[in-house]
Each structure stands twice: as C-alpha cells, then as structure tokens.
Structure 1
Amino acid sequence: MIRRLQLALSAAVRALKQSKWLRSFYVKVFMSFLLTCAIFFVSLVAFWNYYFTDLVYKDKIELLSSRSEEVVKLLSSQEEGSLSVRELKLGVRLIGRSFTGFVWVVDENGTLDSSTNDSPNTVIPKTLDAPFMWALRGESGHTIVPKLDEKSPDTSFLVYYKPTAVNDKRYIIFMLLPVSEISSAISAFRLNLLLPLVFSLLAVAFILLLISRRLAGPLRRMNLAAEAMTQGDFTVRVPVQSKDEFGSLARSFNVMVDQLQQWEDTRKEFLATVSHELRSPLTTLRGLIVALSDKLVPEDQVDRYLAICHGEVLRLQRLVTDLLDLARIQNGGGEERLERVRLEEKVGEVLEVVSTRLHEKRLELRTMLPAAGTRPLVCTLDPDRFVQILQNLLYNAIQFTPEGGTIRLSLQQRGDEAEIIVADTGIGMDEEQLSRIWERFYKADQSRGLHTEGTGLGLTIVKHLVSAMKGTIQADSRKGEGTTFTVRFPLVKPDPRR
C-alpha cells in the first residue's frame, strides 16, 4: 500500500513538473515572490521565537536568583533566633509559590533540611546529583532536568542552584520551576506572533497574485497575438494599459505588427503586380504565336507580328533583369566595388550614350558642368552603378518629354556634396503621383493612358542605389511643367598635403 502511494505521489510530482501551468511566467513570478515572502516571514518567526524564549528564560533565571537571596536571608534569620522554624517553613513555601515552583534547602550530605521541608531527611533525586556537585564546588547556576522522580516522568524543571553557609553550616539552595510554566508563556507568545504573520502572508499572497497577473498579463496577451500572427492574422493588437516598460513593450509590439502587416500587404501586392506584368506579355505572345501557327495572319503582316513578339520578349527580359537587379541591390550588391570616381568623366560617358535617343526625339540638351581647370568633383562610388543611376534618370526624362522639349543636366559642388540635377520640360506629375514614384511597378503614365516601355522598377532601383552609396535623391514636379530630380553624394575630402 505504501509503495503504491509513493508511486502515485511520484507520478503527481512528474505531472506537475511537466505541466504547462507551472512553466508559465505568471506562476513563476508569483511563486518566486511568494517564496521570498515566506522565507522572510519564517526567518522573522524564528528570530522572534529565539529572542523571546531566551528573554523568558533569562527573566525566570533572574527571578529564581533573587528569590534564592531571600531564602538565604530567611536561613540567617532563623539561625540568629529571630525567626522560628515554623515561620521559616512558611516563608520558604511562600517564596516557592511566588514563582509557581518550590524550594529545596539541602545540606552538604544531599538530604533535605528538616527546618524548611515537610519531608526531612529525604535524599535529593539522582537527576540533581550533577548540579549538587557543582554547588559543592562553590558554583551557582542553572540547568534543566528532564524529571525529578518517577512520580513526574513527563515534567521537566528549570533548576537554579546556589551554595550558601550559615554559621559555618553549608547549604545548597535548589529553586525548581516546572518548564511547563515557561512553555505556556512561550506558546501564548508564538500563537500571538504566528496568527498575525499568517494573515499577513495570506494578504501578501493575494497582493502578489494581483501584481503577478498584472505583470504577466501583457506578456500573455502578446503570446496570444503572436500565435494568431503565425496563423496569418495580422489584425490582432495588444492593448496598451500602462506607461511603464510593459506598456512600452506593448506599443513596440503593435508597431512591429503594423510593420509586418504592411510588409505582408506589400508582398501580396508585389506578387500580384509581378503576375500581372508577366501575364500581359505572355498572353500577347501566346495569342500571336497561335495566330501565326494557324496561318491567320496575312503574309504581308507576318514580319510586323514577329516584331511585336520580339518587343514583348524584350519587355519580359527587361522585367526579369530589373527584378534581379533590384534584389541584388536590396541585398547590398551595390556596395561591392566602391572606388574614387571623377563625376565629370562619367557624366560625359553617359551623355555620349544617350545622345542618339535625344536626337531621335528631337530634344534639346542643356548641360552645366564645372569649368575647365577647377578641382574635379570626386566621390566614393560604384562607377557602374553611378552610370546606371544617371542613365535611368535621363531615359526617364527622355521618355516623358514630348518632341521639341528640353532636358537640363547640371553637375556642381554644393558644400561638402556633389549635386547632380536632371530636369525636363515634360508632362510632370501631381502630388499624389509624385509621392508614389519610388514604389515598385508604379507607372505615373498609366493614369494618362500613355504607352511606355518601362517596367516600373527604374526609379525604385535608382532610390536603392543612391541610398546604398550614402547619397540622397529627391524629386520635384508640376503637372504640365516637368520634373526635376536632384541627387547628392558626399565628396572625397582633398588631401591637405597636396
């Protein structure tokens, strides 16, 4: 039976250890605080119990010592003849009653003195032999004996012994006090001490329960919100109910959820846009290929349809290339080949590349570059990426500027930075369009029904490239007047020794 109880208890302990309830932060906080308070209260009870017990015993010992002096005085008075034997016995009996004990006056042979006891010539119990021998050596003190005789086997006594001599006659005075008298006082004190402490501990436990729930509440709510987020629900929020660290944590958690929801929405929008951008040319190609294979296209139109197919393939190629380029840039690919670049030289190279497109569209190009002989503008850049930035901005200006328009390119020093401005006299944008030009796949021309060859990723790539090379870019535009892009890069500080 006992073995079964032990096994059941062990199983219960293992179950508690594995319980999710015991592993919760709320229970750990509560139990930690409660255990700390319990240890404090137990220590307090132990200290006061020891202190009061020691105080009571010291008080009783002092009382017995003072009463033994009174017994000595009575013995001296009786020897002098001023006190009768009857009065001596009565006085000794009254002294014993004063401390709820009794007094034994013993001669040097270990027998009770006939003048102070109703049972003369009685030998003291053997339990008092040790203090009797100590008193014969002239020592006084106290001890506790478990019992005096077989008549009182369960009664312990506090014994105070004191040697004295009256007219050259030696006596040993034993002051015997039942320990039960002291224990009753100590028990009453312990009860009066324990009851308030127990109620205080219960009150503290209740307060700790409330505090622990308040501390663990935000964490529990955040855990539930996190579990909901793992299921794809980004609408959950943690209520902010305080201004402390937990309130700050809840606010930060909500901001994180907002950001995750925004990223999720962006991801979904990105996938939908990519699918649309890929589907359109693929649908066109499929329709044209089916028409060509079924001989539905007149022979004189075959070359034209093949040119359209080739254009759609090039569009797909540009889209895939831009997507891969954007992915590399966002992963830090734009910072792999940083070196000192003379901006005037690179600007000249780019202008040579785009000059053909400018002439084809009959656009006027106005440039404003540093004068010859001035200190060249040098920045730490990736030269290929810088060329890509400038080409994208110029091609963008060419694309949205009607024939006969003007494009202006300027390069100058502005404080500690090199400033490149690309401005056009094109169709421009309103404020809503201007705020979205850095978004992936956004095309400002779509709302106006214009056909362009762009993928909607060019300005997004430009933005990431400029930021990757520690530069800044901003755009200003007015509808019907044109658009201006301003790019700034930090200049390399000149060597003062040169």
Structure 2
Amino acid sequence: MLNLWLKSFYIKIFLSFLVTCILFFVGLALFWNSYFTDLFYKDKKELLSSRFGEVSKLLPSVQEGTISTRELRFGIRIISRSINGSVWLVDAQGMVLNGSSEREGSVIPKVMDTLFIEGLKGNSGFIASQNRIDERARDGLLTYYGPAQMNGKPIVIFLNVPAVEVSEALAAVRWNIVVPLLFSLLTVGIILYMLSRKLAGPLQMMNRAALELAGGDFSARVPVTSDDEVGELAKSFNFMVDQLVQWEDARQEFLTNVSHELRSPLTSLRGLIIAMNDKVIPEEKYGHYLKICDYEVQRLQRLVNDLLDLARIQNGMDVFRLRPLVLNEKIEKMLDLLRTAMNDKQIILHELLPNAEGPLVIAELDPDRFAQVLQNLLYNAIQFTPPGGSIFVELYSEDGNAVIVIRDTGIGMAEEELNRIWDRFYKVEHSRASGSEGTGLGLTIVKHLVNGMKGTIAVSSELGNGTEFTLTFPLSANRSY
C-alpha cells in the first residue's frame, strides 16, 4: 500500500516540491542565524580586540621595569572593568599569573584548554559559547585569546566578557526566524499538496477514461477545469476520443457498405446458379445468364481490387515511383485509349493541350498512378455525360504548377452530393445515373493518389450543368527530358 502511495504522481510532485522548500528554508534559517550572530557580536569583538592591544602594550613595560607587577595588576583590572569581564595572563603551564579575577595562581578551567593550546601555537581568535568559568557565572561567554610575551616567556592572554544579553537576544531572534519559517513551511506544504492534486487529478481521470475506452466505452470524457497546459491536455484527450468515435463509426459504416456491396452480386450469383441447377431457367438461356454471372464476378473482382488498392494507399504500403513525366504526351495517350468509348456514346472531346511546338509541361509523378487518376476521372465524365454532350481536357502551367482540368457537360451534382463524393462507397443517386457500374471507391482512391504524389484536387459542379475537376502538381525542377 505504501509503495503504491509513493508511486502516485501527485505524491511525487508534492514530496519533490516539499523537500526543495525545506532545504530552502533551512538554508535561509542558517544564513539569518549567521548574519545576526555576527551583527550582535560585532561591537564586543571590536572592544576585545582593542583591549587586547592595550594589555599587550603593558607587558614590555613590566620587562623593562618601568611598571611593577602590582601596577600591571591594577592596569589589567581597570581594563577588565572597562569590558565588564575578566582578563587573564596565563603562562605555558596553564597557570593564571596575573589578572582581574580571583583565579590568580590557579589553573584555567579545562573547557579553555583547547583555546590555550591554540594561543601557545601563536593563533588568536574569538569564540562564543555557553561555557561557565566559575560557579556564579551565567551562561553565555565571549572569549578572545591571543599569544604574547612576558619577561621573555610565552603567555596567552584571555579576555572574557559575559554575553548573556547577546545570547538572549540571539535566542529571541532565532525563535523569530524559526517560528515564521515553520508556519510558512506548513502553509507551503498545504498549498503544494493542493496544487499537486490539482495537477495530477486530470491525469488520474484520463487514466480512468483510457481504461474505459479500452473496454469499449466511448462515452468517457475528461472535465476541462482550466485553460492552462493541463486543461489543454484534457481538451486534446477529449478531441482524441471524439476522433476515435468518428473512426469507429466510419469503420462500422465501411463494414456495412462492404457487406452490402458484396452481398448484392453474391445473391445474384447464387440465385442464378440455383435457378439453373433446378432447371428453372431453360438450357437455351444458360448463355445469357452465364454472361450475367460473369458480369457479377467482374463486379466483385473490381470491388476487391479497389479495396486492396485503397488499403495499400491508406496504410502507406503503396510506393510511388516518381520521375519526370511529360504531361502533354501522357494525357494524349490516355485520351487515345478512351476515344472509342466516347465515340460509342457520341460524346465530343475537346483537347486544350499545348501544341507540339509549345513548351513541355513536366511534373514529378508516378506514370501508372497518374494514368489511374486520369482514367478514373475520364470514365466518370463519360458515364455521367449524356449522348451528344462534351468533355473538355485542358493542360497548362501556372505559378510553378502543372494544372489539368477535366470538365464535362453531364448531369452535375447538388451541393450535398458534392460534399460526399470523396467518401468511400458513395455513389450519385441511381435514378440519375442508371448506368453506374462503379464501386464507389474510385474518387476516394483518386484523392489519396493525388495527395501521395504531392498534388491537390478540387471539384466544382452544378446540378444539370456538368462537373469540373482541377488537378494541380508541382512542376519538375528537372526540365530536361
């Protein structure tokens, strides 16, 4: 249970921020403690340093005989009164030789041994401690020690001054630092806990929603409670779910359409086969109905091929072998292949291509895929243009692009049909296109092929006035062909 709790994202955020704040507050407390300690002891340190100098000046006079030991003792007592403390002259054996206290002739307290040794080594310095040098002394002592010479022998000078007032002031300051910091830390901890919950809450909801999605429940959504990055993440998650719903609907619709498209020819085939097997159809009519069966088989084959083609393109498995392609020649060849179909339906073809002496229009395209695009669009134009109508095919270059326009004078499309022509299995109304033999996948494949060759396709149409498709491909940088 504890491991799970520690693995929680918001607990990790909370603990990380809390540890950072604790370290910051501890550092801040140590800094202020050091600052105020130096500030409060500054005046006393300056006073002790100056008095140490005065004592040091008296010692050579004793050696020279200018002043007596009694006068030295008197002078040191005056100095000790000026600092409201005590002054010791300690020889190399730790004995107080002369001073302002009752310790003359006695050994210094053991708590001062470390300072005494440092003084004999020639070092000097200050130390503030809670040491008590006698039974009546109150806690809190500031000591300055330093080396000196007296009668040619090394001694250590101690200047001790009570620092009770400073200690009490420092204790008060420390409390005034620690208590607000503790309250601040508590407040920051509460804020961090709430903030971490606020940050991790949407993530936990997303996790639950993701599990529900994995279980097939597409109604799961994450509440958007803010406009910051977390809110944006929640919006993105909800948008992803909406897209999944659309894709699932499209998948179901696709399966329904495929089932319908497959069932129709299969039902026809099975019915005809049963009828011939049961001798319902006379033998002399077998040839006619076998042709119908062959037509339905070809229809199934076209549907399967189109499905496989579309799947390869959408899954990125289709490889486009792009190379510089002269569009003038390619379009002319495609039109030659379809002239017979146009003539059979008495459709007039208008070719608006650059003449032979004009510049060549070259684009980087896959020849086979480009031929598939043209063939699909031209077959649609033939299929939906009544006899006596016209089909216009135009090629020109504009703004660094090759532009191909295929326009017919056929039945055209209404606006609601125009918005759906790229959908899979969509076909125009059968009452207006009774001769339709398509699978409803042609224009879907065309759009994917054009996009795969870095081109664009646009369509405009008006009911009863024909349809116009406009293809645009970037011109090839290599114009030498």
- TM-superposed CA distance for 1:272, in Å, is 1.6
User: Which of 296, 315, 331 is the matching residue for 1:347?
Assistant: 331
Correspondence 1:182-261 to 2 at 5 A: 183-261=167-245
Q: Distance in 2 between matches of 1:234 and 1:366?
A: 53
CA drift at 1:343: 2.3
Which position in structure 1 is the counterpart of 2:395?
412
Q: What is the SS of the residue equivalent to 1:492?
A: coil
Quote how far apart the aligned CAs of 1:432 are.
Answer: 0.2
2:460 equivalent to 1:487? no
In 2, Cα distance between equivalents of 1:356 and 1:140: 117
Q: Which moved more, 1:124-133 or 1:331-340?
A: 124-133
1:461 corresponds to which of 424, 442, 445? 445
After TM superposition, the structure 1 stretch with the greater mean CA deviation from structure 2, 228-237 or 133-142, is 133-142
1:439 to partner: Cα distance: 0.8
Deviations 1:145-199 (A, max 9, x none): 95657x699978655579999xxxxx99966556777654443332222111100
Offset, 1:321: 0.7
1:77 aligns with none
Distance across 2 between alignment mates of 1:172 and 1:414 = 104
Q: Distance in 2 between matches of 1:134 and 1:268?
A: 92
In 2, Cα distance between equivalents of 1:139 and 1:334 = 87
Contact 2:86/2:100, CA 8 A, preserved across alignment: no
Residue 417 of structure 1 contacts residue 488 of structure 1 at CA under 8 Å; is this kept in 2? yes
How far apart, CA to CA, are the structure 1 residues paired with 2:279 and 2:433? 32
Kept after mapping to 2: 8 A contact 1:411/1:418:
no
1:289 aligns to what?
273
Aligned partner (choices 287, 301, 306) of residue 303 of structure 1: 287
Contact 1:441–1:456 (Cα < 8 Å) also in 2: yes
Identity across aligned pairs (percent)? Answer: 52
1-side partners of 2:356 and 2:113: how far apart?
124
Q: In 2 relative to 1, CA 63–369 (structure 1 residues): closer, same or farther, beyond 3 Å?
A: closer
Q: 1:409 to 1:191 in 2, by over 3 A?
A: same
Is the aligned partner of 1:452 residue 2:433? no
Are 1:362 and 2:346 counterparts?
A: yes
Match of 1:444, SS state, is coil
Which is worse superposed, 325-334 or 312-321? 325-334
Alpha-carbon distance, 1:388 to partner: 1.4
Instruction: State the match for 2:381 in structure 1.
Output: 397
- SS of equivalent to 1:453: coil
Q: Within 5 Å, which residues of 2 pair with 1:131-210?
A: 148=133, 158-159=142-143, 176=160, 183-210=167-194
Classify 1:186/1:299 alpha carbon distance in 2 versus 1 (closer, same or farther; 3 Å).
same
In 1, Cα distance between equivalents of 2:405 and 2:96:
125
8 A Cα contact 1:407 1:422, kept in partner: no
Q: In 1, Cα distance between the equivalents of 2:353 and 2:96?
A: 131
Structure 1 residue 436: deviation in Å? Answer: 0.5
Distance 1:239 1:293, change over 3 A: same
* Aligned counterparts of 1:220 and 1:312: Cα–Cα separation in 2: 55
- Pairwise CA distance, 1:314: 0.8
Contact 1:427/1:481 (8 A) holds in 2: yes
Tell me how far apart the structure 2 counterparts of residues 161 and 351 of structure 1 sit (CA, whole Å).
112
SS at match of 1:355: helix
Q: Give the TM-score normalised by the residue count of structure 1.
A: 0.76
Corresponding residue of 1:275: 259
Partner secondary structure for residue 423 of structure 2:
coil
Rounded Cα–Cα distance in structure 1 between residues aligned with 2:130 and 2:20 = 39
For the residue of structure 2 that corresponds to 1:288, the secondary structure is helix
Moved more, 310-319 or 22-31: 22-31
Partner Cα distance (2:393, 2:121) in 1: 119
Which secondary structure does the structure 1 equivalent of 2:280 belong to?
A: coil
Tell me what 1:321 maps to.
Answer: 305
1:123 partner letter = S
Q: Contact (CA 8 Å) 2:394, 2:406: kept in 1 or not?
A: no
Q: Which residue of 2 aligns with 1:265?
A: 249
C-alpha separation between the residues in 1 aligned to 2:479 and 2:100?
117
Q: Distance in 2 between matches of 1:122 and 1:272?
A: 114
Backbone CA RMSD of aligned residues: 4.7
Q: Does 1:22 align with 2:9?
A: no
1:161 and 1:175 in contact (8 A); partners too: yes
1:182-228 residue CA offsets vs partner (Å, 9 max, x unmatched): 65444333222211110011112222223323333343333333333
Q: How many residues align?
A: 468
Distance 2:431 2:87 in 1: 118
- Residues 313/172 of structure 1: CA separation in 2 closer, same or farther (3 Å cut): closer
Q: Secondary structure at the match of 1:376?
A: coil
Structure 2, unaligned stretches of length 5 or more? 57-66, 68-73, 150-154
Retained in 1: the 8 A contact 2:353–2:395? yes
Shift of 1:316: 0.5
Query: Any idea what SS the aligned residue of 2:421 has?
Result: coil
| Residue 314 (structure 2) aligns with | 330
Distance change in 2, residues 1:22/1:405 (3 Å)? farther
Alpha-carbon contact 1:335-1:382 (below 8 Å) kept: no
2:195 counterpart letter in structure 1: I
The CA distance in 2 between the partners of 1:428 and 1:134, in whole Å, is 108
**Residue matched to 2:61:** none
Aligned-partner residue type, residue 277 of structure 2: S
Maintained 8 Å contact 2:90/2:96: yes
> Does the 8 Å contact 2:361/2:397 carry over to 1?
no
Q: 1:161 to 1:34 in 2, by over 3 A?
A: closer
In the alignment, is residue 470 of structure 1 matched against residue 470 of structure 2?
no
Contact 1:156–1:179 (Cα < 8 Å) also in 2: yes
Shift of 1:495: 5.0
- Equivalent residue of 2:429, what SS? helix
* CA deviation profile, 1:367-393 (whole Å, cap 9, x unmatched): 333233222322222222222112111
Deviations 1:281-304 (A, max 9, x none): 122222222222222222233223
SS at match of 1:422: strand
Q: Deviations over 1:67-105 (max 9, x none)?
A: 999999xxxxxxx9xxxxxxx9xx98x959x95x77789
SS of the residue 2:23 aligns to = helix
Over residues 411-434 of structure 1, what are the superposed CA-to-partner deviations in whole Å (9 max), with x where a residue is unaligned? 331423333332223222100001
Select between 42-51 and 442-451 the one with higher mean Cα deviation.
442-451
Seen in structure 2, the aligned counterparts of structure 1 residues 399 and 71 have a Cα distance that, compared at 3 Å, is closer
Structure 1 gap segments, 5+ residues each: 1-14, 73-79, 81-87, 166-170
8 Å CA contact 1:407, 1:424 repeated in 2: yes
Query: Contact 1:141 / 1:162 at 8 angstroms: preserved in 2?
Result: yes
